[in-house]
C-alpha cells in the first residue's frame, strides 16, 4: 500500500539508489527501481520487498522506469552518467524533473574517490542539464547521504540534503520528496551552478570516512525552521 506517484530510480541497483529505494518504500511511497538490466532491477525490487514487506516496488529497465514518475532520480556513478543521460534523452519529457546525485569522482577513471574530475560544464549536474531534453529540469541533490545509513532502516537519519537547481519551484518539489524520508532535511543551496560545491562534498566525506571508519553526513547549523 503506497501513496503518491511512483518514484523511478535510474541506477537503483547501486548502493545509493538502493538505499533510497528502501527508505522511500519504508515511507510508504511506490518505488520503481531502474537498471540497465531489467532482471537485476527485479532482483533489487525483490530485496526491497523482503526488507519492507508492505512496499509497492517494481524493477524495470531504466528507460521504462523513467517514464513512470514526474520526478526521476539518477543515482549512477559518474562513469555511467553520460551514457545514462543519452538513453534518458529518448524517454524524458518536458515537465519532468531529473534529480542528479552524481559526483564526478576521479574513481570514474580509476583514480581516487577522494579526488574530483573537472567537468567542462562545471559540474556533473550541469552536464546533466545540458544533455536532457528541452523542458526537463535538473535538480542536484543527495550527494552527502550515506548509502550505508540509508540501508539501516531501523537507525534514524538526522542530516541535511543540499539541493541546487535553477527553478525554485522544482527545487521545492524535490525538497518535498526528500522530506518524505524521515530525518533528511532538504536545504536550498542555490542555483545549479552551485552543484559543483555540493558535488565536492562527496570526495570530502569519503576522505573523512576513510580516516574515521564512519558514514558521515552533513548538517548546516544556525538555519531557521522555515526553509522553504
- Segment near a copy of itself (CB under 8 A), from 28-36, 39-47, 48-56, 155-163? 155-163
Residues 72-101 touching a copy of itself, rule: CB under 8 A, are: none
Give the number of C-alpha atoms closer than 13 A to the C-alpha of residue 84, restricted to the C-beta side. Answer: 31
Pairwise CA distance, residues 138 & 97, whole Å: 6
109 binds a copy of itself (CB under 8 A): no
Pairwise CA distance, residues 160 & 228, whole Å: 14
Report the nearest approach of a copy of itself to the CB of residue 60 (Å).
33
CA angle 99, 50, 159 (to 5 degrees): 40
Question: Binding mask 113-152 vs a copy of itself (x if CB under 8 A, - otherwise)?
Answer: -xxx-----------------------------x--x---
CA angle 66, 68, 72 (to 5 degrees): 45
CA distances from 1 to 43, 57, 76, 81, 116 (A): 20, 10, 28, 32, 41
Residues 20-79 touching a copy of itself, rule: CB under 8 A, are: none
- Segment near a copy of itself (CB under 8 A), from 11-19, 28-36, 111-119, 131-139? 111-119
Binding site for a copy of itself (CB under 8 A): 114-116, 146, 149, 158-159, 162, 187-190, 193-194, 196-198, 200-201, 203-205, 207-208, 211-224, 227
Amino acid at each position: 500500500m503506497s501513496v503518491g506517484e511512483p518514484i523511478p530510480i535510474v541506477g537503483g541497483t547501486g548502493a545509493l539508489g538502493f538505499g533510497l529505494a528502501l527508505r522511500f518504500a519504508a515511507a510508504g511511497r511506490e518505488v520503481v527501481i531502474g537498471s540497465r538490466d531489467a532482471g537485476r532491477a527485479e532482483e533489487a525490487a525483490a530485496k526491497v520487498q523482503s526488507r519492507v514487506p508492505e512496499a509497492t516496488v517494481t524493477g524495470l529497465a531504466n528507460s521504462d522506469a523513467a517514464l513512470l514518475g514526474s520526478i526521476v532520480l539518477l543515482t549512477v556513478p559518474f562513469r555511467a552518467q553520460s551514457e545514462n543521460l543519452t538513453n534518458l534523452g529518448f524517454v524524458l519529457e518536458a515537465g519532468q524533473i531529473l534529480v542528479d546525485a552524481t559526483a564526478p569522482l576521479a574513481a570514474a577513471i580509476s583514480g581516487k574517490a577522494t579526488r574530483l574530475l573537472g567537468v567542462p560544464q562545471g559540474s556533473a549536474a550541469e552536464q546533466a542539464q545540458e544533455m536532457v531534453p528541452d523542458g526537463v529540469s535538473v535538480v542536484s541533490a543527495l550527494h552527502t547521504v550515506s548509502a550505508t545509513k540509508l540501508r539501516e532502516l531501523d537507525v534514524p537519519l538526522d542530516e541535511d540534503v543540499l539541493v541546487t537547481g535553477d527553478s525554485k519551484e522544482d527545487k521545492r518539489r524535490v525538497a518535498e520528496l526528500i522530506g518524505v524520508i524521515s530525518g533528511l532535511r532538504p536545504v536550498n543551496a542555490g542555483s545549479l551552478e552551485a552543484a559543483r560545491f555540493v558535488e565536492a562534498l562527496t570526495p570530502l566525506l569519503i576522505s573523512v570516512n576513510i580516516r574515521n571508519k564512519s558514514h558521515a553526513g552533513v548538517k548546516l547549523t544556525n538555519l531557521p525552521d522555515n526553509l522553504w
